[in-house]
Amino acid sequence: MATMLGQSDPANSPLGRMLLDEITPVVMVLRTPLVEEACLKNGLNLVELLTPFSSFNNIDVPVRTASDQPYRLQKFKLRLCYASDVRQPNLEVAKERLKEVITHAGEKDFSNLCSDPPHIEDVLSSPESQILPSWFQFFNKELVRTLSFSDHEAFDHPVACLLVVSTKDEQPLNRFVDLFNTNQLPSLLNDGVMDPKILKYYLLVHDNQDASTEKADKILTEMRSTFGSNDCRLLCINSSQDGSVEHKDNPWVPYKNNASFSQPLGCFLNIDDFSEMKDLMQDFSSKHIIPHMEQKIRVLNQQVSATRKGFRNQIKNLWWRKGKEDTPEASNGPMYTFSSIESQIRVLADYAFMLRDYELALSNYRLLSTDYKLDKAWKRYAGVQEMMGLTYFLLDQSRKEAEYCMENAFNTYFKIGPSGQQNATRCGLWWVEMLKTRDQYKEAASVYFRLSGEEPLHSAVMLEQASYCYLFSKPPMLHKYGFHLVLSGDHYKKCDQIKHAIRTYRSALSVYKGTMWSYIKDHVHFHIGKWYAFLGMFDVAVPHMLEVLTCGHQSKTTQDLFLREFLQVVQQTGKKFEIFKLELPAINIPSVKVIFEDNRTYASPAAASVRESLWQSLEEDVIPSLPSIRANWLESQPKNISKNHQQSNLCVTGEAIKVDVEFKNPLQIPISISNVSLICELSVCSEETDSDANSSMSELQSDETSRKLIISREQASNNSFTLSEADFSLGGGERIMVQLTVTPRIEGILKVVGVRWKLSDCMVGFHNFESNIVKKKIAKGRRKAKHSPGDNMMFLVIKSLPKLEGSIHHLPEKVYAGDLRRLVLELRNQSEFPVKNVKMKISSPRFLNVGSREILNTEFPACLEKKTDPEQVHANHNKESQTVFLFPEDTLIQGGTPFLWPLWLRAAVPGNIPLYITIYYEMGEISNHMRYRTLRMYHNLQVLPSLDLSFRISFCPSRLKEFLVRMDAVNKTTSESFQIHQLSSVGNQWEISLLQPVGTMIPSELMAGQALSCFFKLEYVRKSTTPEDKTSLLAHREGSDVKLGSDGSNETLFDVCSSPLANFHICERMHQEGSHQEHPNSVDFILISRPSKENINTGLPDPPRLFSHHISRCKIDSTRPIWWLMEGPRTINHNFSASFCEVKLKITLYNSSDSSASIFIQSLDSNPSTGQLSDVMAGSSGNQAGWYDASLVNDIKVTTDVLGMKPGKPPSMDSVSQFIWSGSSSINVEVEPMSTAEVPLQVCVFSPGTYDLSNYALHWNLLSSKHEVSHGKCPGSPFYLTVLESA
């Protein structure tokens, strides 16, 4: 920032120049009316005529005051004033004068306030002279002049009196005498405040237009003989006869207060008149005023030296003034006449100051300061302190002393009260200039702030000047600069200075623009807009009012005020404004979503909101990979499309393009929005319009261009496209997603440019959608980025094509787990052109399955019951058939005729389940742009918990192929009751049956929250099969069923081996493949239940409901593939006195695996509690003693191994067993898959008792098996034999 630096000579500083203008000798002017008449011919009075020649920049006059060393005076100025003006100005008149100055400045500067305010960076880089308002200096001078001719200061006392008489006056000499009559003198001279004995200079004015100078010369001779030859002078004016003189640099213009002149100034004055006036004032100053002041200074200095200087005089003065301490204080102190020693000292000091003898002036000011302080003449004391501060400044000696004196004077003036306020203002202005000269802008701003008093207009100017001091400080204090500008503008407004208020507030905007100071920014913009509207400048007011519309941080009351005032301003304009990027309501541009249909169509808005990647993964198996049919959206563009439209999206004539736009109310108050629609343009596709289509988006940057574009599109929409409109209201802080549509009617290039709306039916706002497609530089070796078609707002509109519309009847939103329902898929094609090759893929076949067309005409659930005829619809195990369904080849959909197909829904597990369906269809050769289309359907299914099932299967201890099944069921619902209808085992190897009657173990219905446990018998009936049998069994999984309804019920069983129950069960098994591996001894169960009749009889039309719960891969507690059972007598009577008892037993073995098994049975003579069995079991890993591999044969071979047990140490008699195994101690058996073998055993008992015959071990090994456990060892199962002694 360019600031004014302090000069080496303080006299050249702004303050020095101001003091040269204001503290200079005063010449009192007395003139006759004829003198004024001659002067007024030039549009000037006498004082105005002579003022330009009263200032000298190089007068070069030698001056000698009290010292013997003379110095030369270069700059000098006289202040001319009429005797009638030598008085203290009226305060009210002075205020009105200052108000006129401010008002005139506001009118002059207001023409520049219609442009945008400058940026703060530009302000900081501008020089100070360009930033400061030019009228500040003039206002400050006028403010200082309101204190002219004060009674406590002498620099306003007239030094001389200029008596002016015209040659046209009668008896001119007598007129000179009459002019200085005491009745015409100012009151200050008559009252003793000023010395009436002043220098007199007599001037005779002659108008050259009236007569020759002969009379004038005669009168001048008489004057010199009467008043002295040196004090008289003749001045001839108006030498131009025609009054047509024009001065290029008119010297009187700066001194005229009124800028408009009725005639050219000085039009009768030629170059000779200029020279005479200049010589007059030069001689008057150098030969009369300055010598007179020198003489006065020397005389007064001698008097002061004789009476006040010296130690004796100082003690005498101090003693004399101590007696005045008891006098009461007064603001002005005691009255001092011009003849008092204090007044003489003040005159001496002021004269010395005006003649630049600052050392002499300072010594007398110091002397006088002590006297006034002792006399308690505080106003005079403050005035002397003020002059001391200025003298210190001009001497450039002690800055600290200068500032101390100015602050002391400033504070003293304020302590006096109202009579000292104006003096304090003048002192403050001089003090401020002193600080600014020394670059102390921050301190100067604080002084300005102290000058702002209770009077609003005065405070406004002072606060504004303080703000610029903060701006010029180093570093700039921008926050204080802006804040004081706002304070100043507020004071201007209170004084009805609206234009000044606007100017200061606009300057403050440069500070707050782009900052986070929201509240003060809103305050400034709102008031600027309001004030512009008050002046009738509505076009300028509206942009400022727009800045405060989105003031969400403000209170609700303030927001309501801003909006109400804004709408009022808009209504006062009498026209509807169209605002580009209107922020009320706010539009979430990043969330704008375009939904259009090319080859991808959607059955519902929910389907369109699903991410594209999910649909693409679902459609991989549906869309054929043929060269003529491309799956990628970029590849699907035909080759005949021009390069300019390669990035355009495809859409079809007559099909709506939907744009989701989110509107948000940033305020806390409700707002009304109407006529919301898209901004679009559609041009006919041609080579000429290709280039225009690309360039039109860039044309929307300016407001005017956008406004014209809106009008043209409204006219075009009647023929080329149709727009939807929306009306809504937004509450405080509310968001709403609005879907707007545009439907093209003709082929061409369609662009969705933006959105428009109407706020409160008085203002139109519009916002353009910025395209996200940006051309990026692709580095070498990288693939070119692919852009989503949704990122582009340009569409290539092709001719009308067939389109499938789809819906699913009876699809619920909320169901319970296990709910099985029949749905109907309805497809319609409104076009006359048919669609063919229809196929469908479902994302979740576990929940949704395709039925056969025949069941459309059957009742549900009767279509699921078991049929008596052998023909059944069995499940298909092909995975693709479960997800991709091919409709019959002869399927043609056209003309609006509904096409129906059944679907099966089963709620497999609880949760929120998304169901995605895509339907592919082809349209033939109708269009070169598109050969196929897909219909995407989406539904969300909420599944609630219902029955929680668990099964446990354990061996039956008394039967080899029988098992005990425990079923636990818990009703997890809160209000539903269920009737258990049927339990089925799936597969041909298991058969389930009841252990007891149904009525004794299963209640009639399972209430909400109730638990149930019941037992069933499960029998293993699987037989050995060939590979061909396995294939047929996979295709037809038979099962067994148990009816669990009431005993008297006639309800039939449901076929779990047919579609859809079998298909859903296959899906359940496939779903569990990852976590459960297939086990040969696992069992699948299906439990079928119905809702309670109390739930159904609600009076509402509810279709029949059925629940199926599928439990897969329930394992038997033991996972070994070899089962065995020991059989034989349990109780025997024998006479041990005759012989020992021999008992024959047998072990039945069953191999339930798909591989041959080698089984090794080892009998132990000792009890398992002894160590022999433990040793055998401890060696379960690795090769066992006596183990060998037997070859697979058709017949069962039983071999003995006598050496299987190596003899050990003979046992003691105490440990001898009461029974022993007789016969072979180890036996090897080979059992074929799914086969049974019997192994005979024999035991010898030596005494009566009960014996546990479990002291044997069974080793098994599966030959070439893929079973997860291929070998193992098991201890014998308990078998108790009781032998009694017979008689």
Can you give the pLDDT at residue 547? 85
Q: How confident is the model at residue 1191 (pLDDT cuts 50, 70, 90)?
A: very low
Backbone angles phi, psi at 340, to 5 degrees: -70, 155
The C-alpha torsion from 856 through 861 and 863 to 866, rounded to 10°, is: 170
Can you give the pLDDT at residue 677? 92
DSSP-based three-state secondary structure for 192: coil
The mean-pLDDT minimum among 148-152, 184-188, 1010-1014, 1160-1164 falls in 184-188
Mean pLDDT within 1125-1152: 86
Token pair listed for 113: 């306030």
Q: How confident is the model at residue 417 (pLDDT cuts 50, 70, 90)?
A: confident
Q: Is the pLDDT of residue 885 over 80?
A: yes
What would the pLDDT profile of 1002-1022 be if each residue is shown by its tens digit?
A: 787 888 888 888 888 888 886
Q: How confident is the model at residue 938 (pLDDT cuts 50, 70, 90)?
A: very high
Can you give the pLDDT at residue 645? 61
What would the pLDDT profile of 640-661 be if each residue is shown by its tens digit?
A: 555 556 677 888 998 999 899 9
The mean-pLDDT minimum among 146-155, 529-538, 1246-1255 falls in 146-155
Helices (H), 888-1022: 998-1001
Can you give the pLDDT at residue 918? 94
Q: How confident is the model at residue 111 (pLDDT cuts 50, 70, 90)?
A: low
Token pair listed for 677: 């629609």
Q: Is residue 792 within 8 Å of 647, Cβ to Cβ?
A: yes
Continuous segment of H or E residues that includes residue 968: strand 962-971
Q: Is the pLDDT of residue 2 over 50?
A: no
Residue 20's contacts (CB-CB under 8 Å, 6 or more residues apart) are 11, 75, 77
Distance CA 675, CA 724 (A): 9
Can you give the pLDDT at residue 487? 92
| Strand arrangement of the beta sheet that strand 1256-1262 belongs to | 1198-1200, 1226-1231, 1157-1163, 1256-1262, 1271-1275
Mean pLDDT within 266-279: 86
Residue 967: strand pairing partners? 951, 1014
Mean pLDDT within 314-342: 60
Q: How confident is the model at residue 1204 (pLDDT cuts 50, 70, 90)?
A: very low
Q: DSSP secondary-structure letter at 1130?
A: S
Q: Which residue has the higher pLDDT, 793 or 1131?
A: 1131
Helices (H), 696-847: 703-716
Backbone angles phi, psi at 588, to 5 degrees: -85, 85
Q: DSSP secondary-structure letter at 808?
A: E
The mean-pLDDT minimum among 459-468, 743-752, 1109-1118, 1261-1270 falls in 1261-1270
Can you give the pLDDT at residue 707? 43
Can you give the pLDDT at residue 718? 58
Q: What percent of the chain clears pLDDT 70, i.e. is strictly above it?
A: 80
Backbone angles phi, psi at 248, to 5 degrees: -65, -55
What would the pLDDT profile of 788-825 be if each residue is shown by its tens digit?
A: 444 578 888 888 888 999 999 989 999 999 999 999 99
Distance CA 937, CA 917 (A): 5
Q: Is the pLDDT of residue 1184 over 70?
A: no
Distance CA 925, CA 785 (A): 32
Residue 147's contacts (CB-CB under 8 Å, 6 or more residues apart) are 88, 89, 422, 423, 426
Q: How confident is the model at residue 779 (pLDDT cuts 50, 70, 90)?
A: very low
Q: Which residue has the higher pLDDT, 956 or 446?
A: 446
Q: Is the pLDDT of residue 933 over 80?
A: yes
Mean pLDDT within 457-461: 88
Can you give the pLDDT at residue 676? 93
Closest CA to 232 of 242, 222, 247, 240: 222
Can you give the pLDDT at residue 815? 93
Can you give the pLDDT at residue 823? 92
What would the pLDDT profile of 422-452 be if each residue is shown by its tens digit?
A: 888 889 988 988 898 888 889 999 998 888 8
Q: Is the pLDDT of residue 898 over 50?
A: yes
What would the pLDDT profile of 358-402 be if each residue is shown by its tens digit?
A: 999 998 998 888 888 888 888 889 999 999 999 999 888 788 888
CB atoms within 10 A of CB 8: 7
Mean pLDDT of the chain: 79
Distance CA 984, CA 990 (A): 10
| Helix 341-354 / helix 378-395 crossing angle, nearest 10 deg | 30
The mean-pLDDT minimum among 54-58, 500-504, 1222-1226, 1271-1275 falls in 1222-1226
Identify which of 82-96, 217-231, 863-877 has the greatest average pLDDT: 217-231
Distance CA 868, CA 875 (A): 18
Q: How confident is the model at residue 129 (pLDDT cuts 50, 70, 90)?
A: confident
* Type of residue numbered 97: R
| Helix 518-534 / helix 498-512 crossing angle, nearest 10 deg | 150
> Could you tell me the sign of the dihedral formed by the alpha carbons of 330, 336, 342, 346, in that order?
positive
CB atoms within 10 A of CB 1048: 6
The mean-pLDDT minimum among 79-88, 322-331, 498-507 falls in 322-331
Can you give the pLDDT at residue 97? 82
The mean-pLDDT minimum among 504-508, 831-835, 928-932 falls in 928-932
